[in-house]
Amino acid sequence: MPEPLALKDQTSEAQIYIDRVSFCFGLLVLGALLLVGRMFYLQIVEHDRYSTLADENRIQVQSIAPVRGLIYDRNGVLIADNVPSKFLTLTTELTRDVTGTLDALRDVIGLNDAEIEAFAKRRARKRRPYDPVPVRYHLSEEEIARIEVNRYRLPGVRVDAQLVRHYPERGLLAHAVGSVRRINEDDLKRIDQVAYSGTDHIGKTGIERFYEPLLLGRVGYRRIETNALGRVMNVLDETKPVPGRNLTLQIDAGLQQAASDALGDRRGVVVAIEPATGGILAMVSKPSYDPNLFVTGIDHETYGALRDSIDVPLFNRVLQGQYEPGSTLKPFLGLIGLAEGTVTEETIVEDPGWFRLRGNQRLYRDWNWTKDGRGGHGDAVNLDRALYRSCNVYFYSLAVKMGIGTIHENLALFGFGRNLSLDLPEGRSGLLLSPDWKRTVRGEQWYPGDTVNIGIGQGDMLVTPLQLASAVTVIANRGRFIPPRLLLEGADVPEAREQVDNVTSISREHWDAVILGMENVIHRGNMGFGENGTAWAYIGQDIPYRMAGKSGTAQVVGIKQGEEYDEELLDDRQRKHAWFVAFAPVEAPTIALAVLVENGGGGSSVASPVARTVLDHYLLDDTPGIVGR
């Protein structure tokens, strides 16, 4: 007999269904409560925090580089400019793979290892988030096109425009104006990184370095709103940068060009100063270099060629070259001798062609001495003749009579032995000799022969061309010392680092006597053999103004006792350096200068024509600006 069918328990099934629905509803309610609670926590309790984080993702602060101040010469010629340049940047926060992006740039524009290394150094610099880091400067139109075509492969990469420093005159004013260069690791240790957050460059040499705080300006900032791709959607607010201050220098670019042309391809220096102000009118150091090469980074090969060149074009001979002054020191010694009463204008010295200390067999020769015993200037050499004929024997005798103590003390009054320029701190101090120096440095006593040598500016005494030109302005000013400087307008004149008083111990008559001897160096001519001024034959025969000057030679290699100096037997770089110093017009000097031609030989024959050309341009050519432009 079949079993009866079991009937469904509808009540039980309904309860199970209700329990399941209730459980699910409870879960939904709990989830909703959790979401509401979390929303309350985020929107109310943590509102300020997450609002700030959201803004940081959406709103960025960008630095705005100030425009660097311009530099002009005294006639308004622009000598340091800013020009627009397209450059490539990478914002590292906008790319997940910086290395991969750089590798892609290798393919697109040929990015090299040196550029990647430089990028890494700039990236390591402390900076604001989302600040773009330069990768390459001076992009070509073709490179820009390649970047745009491959934009999808280059997240965070952008082509920007920026003003970069440019020197229109290239090497002509490199050693005077200096240059800006990229900030390196050493710079980062000393600069205010906030002040430099908008730029990768800093003044490294010359005026660009000394007046860097004024030329730099003040960085600005911009708050921008970006989308998820990093593109700028809106500028929220902006603090404009303050441009750097424009400066005007004492430099006359036209005179600088004339001086450079006068030197030609020879190594040497021309430095010219306005006696009334101490303003440096020309400051030529040759050979020179193009400072534009350094602005955005010079390649290793080019820099190596400049650094290792035998002619050292990076070396500023005006400020850092130290040379024996030679016979250009004689006017200063003559002034000291007159002021001290050691000699008078009428004091006579016999010059047989040589000088000998009492009890000593060594002969100190005159410049015109020959091995067969000829030379000298006879038995009637006074101060005037000693100057215009550059008689060594007279000044050997004078130096010994005065003594090194008197010489050292008085030469210091003309600025020797110190860098007294106001805005050229990299200038060297030269070497003003004294017994204390020799004892300390050489461990030797001072000998009478040392004093004899200093009588003609030889031995260990050293001067820089700027020092010598500045000392000549003291003669032109008849005792008034004005420190040399490059700045004309645009900033306060820097204070002197050392106090130097005017030379008041020398009377007007003594100044006039020495200046007359210097005039005769150029203007005394047609007086018979041997009686003309040493420079008359080279520059004095048709000169339309009165010039006072003095030639000199600085010995590079020693000549043995009894041997005659013969340049033909020497290598070019062993020949004497040629000096010439001058100022004009004598009655009211407006320019003083020092010319040095390295290994040029005779000062009068080689250096004086350079000086004459420069003075002619300044005094006779009334056309300002760059010569030939």
Please list the active-site residues: 327
Q: How many CB atoms lie within 10 A of CB 541?
A: 12
Q: How far apart are CA 98 and CA 233, in angstroms?
A: 24
H or E segment at 133?
Answer: strand 133-136
Q: How far apart are CA 386 and CA 349, in angstroms?
A: 9
b (16+ CB within 10 A) / e for 185-194: eebeeeeeee
| Residues linked to residue 273 through DSSP beta bridges, in sequence order | 280, 592
Contact 275, 591 (CB under 8 A): yes
Show the tokens assigned to 525.
């001519």
H or E segment at 147?
Answer: helix 141-149
The CA dihedral of 194, 196, 199, 201, to the nearest 10 degrees, is -160
Query: Tell me, what amino acid is at 310?
Result: I
Q: How far apart are CA 268 and CA 598, in angstroms?
A: 5
Show the tokens assigned to 596.
């040095």
The CA dihedral of 555, 558, 562, 566, to the nearest 10 degrees, is -60
Show the tokens assigned to 383.
């101060």
Show the tokens assigned to 598.
């390295």
Q: How far apart are CA 463 and CA 457, in angstroms?
A: 10
Which residue's entry shows tokens 């006579």? 348
Q: How far apart are CA 376 and CA 373, in angstroms?
A: 9
| Local structure of 391: helix, strand or coil | coil
| Residues linked to residue 84 through DSSP beta bridges, in sequence order | 163
| Residues linked to residue 279 through DSSP beta bridges, in sequence order | 274, 485
- Contacts with 164 (C-beta within 8 Å, 6 or more apart), sequence order: 82, 83, 84, 85, 137, 201, 295, 296
Q: Nearest Cα to 431, choosing from 322, 333, 268? A: 322
Contact 534, 604 (CB under 8 A): yes
H or E segment at 160?
Answer: strand 157-166
Show the tokens assigned to 505.
């111990």
Query: Tell me, what amino acid is at 277?
Result: T
One DSSP character per residue, 510-556 reads HHHHHHHHHHHHHH--SS-TTTS-TTIIIIISS-SS--EEEEEEE-S
- Contacts with 337 (C-beta within 8 Å, 6 or more apart), sequence order: 343, 383, 398, 401, 402
Helices (H) and strands (E) in the chain, counts: 22, 20
- Contacts with 182 (C-beta within 8 Å, 6 or more apart), sequence order: 118, 200, 201, 202, 296, 297
Sheet containing 577-584: order of strands: 279-286, 268-274, 591-597, 577-584, 548-554
